[in-house]
Structure 1
Amino acid sequence: MQNLARNVDVFTQGLKYSISGLMNLANETNEPESDVFFVNFNQDYTSLAVGSQAGYKLYSLNSVDYLHIIYENDTEDIRIIERLFSSSLVAMVTLSSPRKLRVCHFRKGTEICYYSYSNTILAVKLNRSRLVVCLQESLYIHNINTMKVLHTIRETPPNLAGLCTLSIVSHDCYLAYPGSNTIGEVQIFDAINLQAKTMIPAHDSPLAALAFNPNGTKIATASEKGTVIRVFQVHDGTKLFEFRRGVKRCVSISSLAFSMDSTDSMFLCCSSNTETVHIFKLEEPKEAYVNYFSFLCSHCCYISIVPCWYRLRQATEESQTWMGYLTKAVSASANYLPSQVTDVFNQGRAFASVHLPFQGLKSVCAITVVQKVFRLLVASADGYLYVYNLDTTEGGDCTLLKQHRLDGKRDDVDCASVSTAESGSGETPAATATEIVQNAAYINSYAGVLCGCSSNSISDSEKHHEMIAATESPPTFSCPFRLNDDAEFPPITQNMD
């Protein structure tokens, strides 16, 4: 019996290792070719940051046909990389030091300062006045001029995904993060006056994505269920829009982004772990649209409510037809219908959509004007940037214009040309290895700031000088692109507390 038991154990262990080996092989087979860990747009969608085990790259997004390299660093294993607008200031977190935030001037190849935290850094957000570091159960708000910690929000609900967002403007500088890990509450925090502003009960399920519009007056939300996208007014939490992404399946929404067409934004895009990106139009429904209609069944004299996906040509024509009469009758009886039914009828549908050539991967999306035309940009963890055309009048399916590879390898579809970037990108070319080596001594002269304790720290005046140098506007002759736009190269002023 002992021998039999021993043989059974040996067989079980062998079977276990065999299954484990097959699972590992399957994982190796399905592993994407790219080693990209992190992709993210800057605040105004003019550049793209890509982090990987081999370092990080910054790309300019002012052309459809060419992806211009602004800067490339192959000495760090980047986990998080955030660029401040089109300035030289970047904040980064590496895989080897996930608790340390480094603030650098990438054009000079210098490190301005670094901060260490008690736990892993899950997200970093910044604008012209504030830098926010998100940990699992706390948020640190820094003055970006001096990197001084102004306020710490402690004992926040467990936020394993590091979900938070910061408005990009300084006058309405709001921070949003989950107020609960069981339901979809959004906590809005005033990052200038350092006080809580409002709590928005956005969803029944926990939050999955958040995004402010460009002027910080609206916030878009999505839950872990992923079927409904809502837009609220930041000031008082009033619900402005509600869109249905889908009803067939729950998805994991990875990105929400308002369009950068104006401060108020006309569009909102949403990407998830599916192959579809949805684009919603932020406009009030017109009277000429009918959300639903009713018809009288000849067999049982029962009025049935069914969705109506067409529009009438004129509101006046509608009111004069039997359809218009019945529509008004249904509208008048809406209070007698279940709230779930009326909510579905009132939810907006996607204005346009994109079908990506992949699914199951995290991606970030953005809508911006490139070469004077609206484009949808989708950057994914498979190491590609997809550029689509967006018809702002008709909507519908968006057309793929260009596909760019982000991992530095050549691709038959497209590959970025450094020489072209130097001649026409409007950005300073990537620093050479020689320049980085020459700056090595200068880099080593800077010390870190360990959560307020200054061990070999540089003086406040030197640090402030570096922060200004990182965000100063480049010479006029070297940047012909949007020279007169102060938002393109925002200055950092002194004493903004």
Structure 2
Amino acid sequence: SLVVGSKSGYRLYSLNNVDDLELIYSNDVEETYMVERLFSSSLVATVSLSSPRKLKVCHFKKGTEICNYSYSNTILAVRMNRSRLVVCLEESLYIHNIRDMKVLHTIRDTPPNPQGLCALSITHDNCLLAYPGSATIGEVQIFDADHLHAKTMIPAHDSPLAALAFNPSGTRIATASEKGTVIRVFSSADGQKLFEFRRGVKRCVDISSLAFSMCGQFLCCSSNTETVHVFKFEEPRDCPRRSVEESSWMGYLSSYLPTQVTDVFTQGRAFAAAHLPIQGVRNVISIVM
């Protein structure tokens, strides 16, 4: 479903027919600037503009408020799966048990994160939380939200992070930096780099959103430009003899070229692209298949 917050509350739409969005629910109570729905359940978490430090968890079908929590600073992001609810503040993260909403763990004194950048895997079998490990470079901290301990730190980019996303199984994490040209995909278990894609060479591009398809075969990216890029994961195959010769030639050439130049040769390009009618705004993307 699609959840939209507005000046007059929030609305839920069905995506069964993307050509004709069906309104599922409408709440016209207060200005809502943040709203998250737990998959297709009736559980909705909201934050209003009038009370930016208060989180409300509601059962929208019954029209009842389950609970509310207040925090020390403005809530910047809320993420949920079937076992955890995570609230992100600028310098801390609160991990709740979604069954009773008790705070299980608080990650304090995180690097300044004014955008509330974080990601929570959607599977409770591999319940991982990712957030910036640095405010100056693109480090990703992977935290085990099930067993409540830090797992690994991934040095993903030279510049600060701009976007994060787990694949549906939580085994991979996609990252983009403020530079906005390269998207990398790492193993969430050990931080090994698996794929690298080049969005483009245009400067001053702000990547605002990354999303995997549910099958895990595609990754899409949106930014402040009018173009949405879709990348396809091509798993390595047995190389024919010709490719071995080409790789040998590339290995010879790379010894004489800067690392930045040889990296460009190995970066994947967009499998497909879509063009939006406007640019210069923050776009959030998802893949529905």
TM-score range normalised by the length of the shorter chain = over 0.9
Tell me how far 1:352 sits from its aligned partner.
0.5
Q: C-alpha offsets along residues 98-122 of structure 1, whole Å, 9 cap, x if unaligned?
A: 0000000000000011000110000
Aligned pair partner of 1:283 in 234, 238, 250: 234
Change in Cα spacing, 1:144 to 1:332, as seen in structure 2 (3 Å) is same
User: Matched residue pairs, number?
Assistant: 289
Letter in 1 for 2:256: Y
1:65 is paired with a residue of what secondary structure?
Answer: coil
Matched, 1:343 2:286: no
Change in Cα spacing, 1:330 to 1:170, as seen in structure 2 (3 Å) is closer
2:153 match: 199
Looking at structure 2, the residues matched to 66 and 333 of structure 1 have their Cα atoms a distance apart, in angstroms, of 53
Identity of matched residues, % = 72
Letter in 1 for 2:110: T
Looking at structure 1, the residues matched to 220 and 78 of structure 2 have their Cα atoms a distance apart, in angstroms, of 22
Q: How does 1:464-475 map to 2 (within 5 A)?
A: none
Change in Cα spacing, 1:326 to 1:238, as seen in structure 2 (3 Å) is closer
Q: How does 1:313-462 map to 2 (within 5 A)?
A: 315=240, 318=242, 328-369=248-289
2:101 match: 147
Letter in 2 for 1:61: L
Looking at structure 2, the residues matched to 269 and 275 of structure 1 have their Cα atoms a distance apart, in angstroms, of 14
Matched, 1:99 2:53: yes
2:22 match: 68
Looking at structure 2, the residues matched to 185 and 332 of structure 1 have their Cα atoms a distance apart, in angstroms, of 31
Tell me how far 1:329 sits from its aligned partner.
2.9
Q: C-alpha offsets along residues 373-414 of structure 1, whole Å, 9 cap, x if unaligned?
A: xxxxxxxxxxxxxxxxxxxxxxxxxxxxxxxxxxxxxxxxxx
Q: C-alpha offsets along residues 278-318 of structure 1, whole Å, 9 cap, x if unaligned?
A: 11111135677xxxxxxxxxxxxxxxxxxxxxxxxxx56x5
Unmatched 5+ residue regions in structure 1?
1-46, 289-314, 370-497
2:169 match: 215
Letter in 2 for 1:178: P
Higher relative contact order (CA 8 A, sep 6+): 1
2:144 match: 190
Change in Cα spacing, 1:65 to 1:330, as seen in structure 2 (3 Å) is closer
1:270 match: 221
CA RMSD of aligned residues (A): 1.6
Tell me how far 1:140 sits from its aligned partner.
0.3
Change in Cα spacing, 1:146 to 1:286, as seen in structure 2 (3 Å) is same
1:178 match: 132
Query: Does the CA contact (< 8 Å) of 1:227 and 1:250 recur in 2?
Result: no
Change in Cα spacing, 1:336 to 1:79, as seen in structure 2 (3 Å) is same
Looking at structure 2, the residues matched to 231 and 327 of structure 1 have their Cα atoms a distance apart, in angstroms, of 22
1:90 match: 44
Q: Which has the higher strand share?
A: 2
Tell me how far 1:62 sits from its aligned partner.
1.0
Looking at structure 2, the residues matched to 207 and 326 of structure 1 have their Cα atoms a distance apart, in angstroms, of 34
Tell me how far 1:249 sits from its aligned partner.
1.7
Q: How does 1:32-181 map to 2 (within 5 A)?
A: 47-181=1-135
Tell me how far 1:325 sits from its aligned partner.
5.9
Letter in 2 for 1:273: N
Tell me how far 1:248 sits from its aligned partner.
2.4
Query: Does the CA contact (< 8 Å) of 1:129 and 1:144 recur in 2?
Result: yes
Q: For the pair shown, which has the larger CA radius of gyration, 1 or 2?
A: 1
Letter in 2 for 1:277: V
Letter in 1 for 2:210: L
Tell me how far 1:135 sits from its aligned partner.
0.4
Tell me how far 1:337 sits from its aligned partner.
2.6
TM-score by length of 2: 0.96
Letter in 1 for 2:231: F
Letter in 2 for 1:152: T
Change in Cα spacing, 1:135 to 1:336, as seen in structure 2 (3 Å) is same
TM-score by length of 1: 0.57
Tell me how far 1:157 sits from its aligned partner.
0.5
Unmatched 5+ residue regions in structure 2?
none
